[in-house]
Amino acid sequence: MSLADFRMILRKGKGRPPPGIDGWEKWMVKSLNDYSLQLVLDLANYIILNSHFPDVTKPSVLSTLFKRGSSMNLANYRGTCCSQFIAQIPFAWLNHLLIPYLARHHVLPQGQVATQVGVQG
């Protein structure tokens, strides 16, 4: 992933999501100069190229949030995972590459429009 690709990934999604358990905030990382951002990118590229997440990036917090209805019914809760910011970058990059790949290789059926670029259902 290049620095330009990384900046594009940082522009996607919520501008100010809550910080992960590592305390890194997306807006803070987005505002780094090229030299500093390159250090973060080097770590992300290491994770991607080696398919290895350093142990310090693995801890996550899984919480359940009550939606509505009876609090006795487990179906009225949803799970949410709070993970490290650096662990989210490779998945964002993969998602960015995945949809065009699936379209190019005709993996998804024509009827599945939710993931097809330029198609609204």
From residue 121, how far is each of 5, 45, 96, 98, 101 by CA, in Å? 29, 35, 21, 20, 21
Q: Where are the domains of the chain?
A: 3-69+84-104
Q: How many residues does the chain have?
A: 121
> Considering only CA atoms, which of 90, 94, 82 is closest in space to residue 22?
82
* 56 within 8 A of 50, measured Cβ to Cβ: no
Beta-sheet pairing, 61-66 with 77-82: antiparallel
Tens-of-pLDDT digits for all 121 residues of the chain? 999 999 999 998 777 777 777 778 888 889 999 999 999 999 899 988 998 877 776 767 777 888 888 888 888 888 776 677 888 888 889 888 988 888 888 887 777 766 666 665 5
Rounded to two decimals, the pTM is 0.66
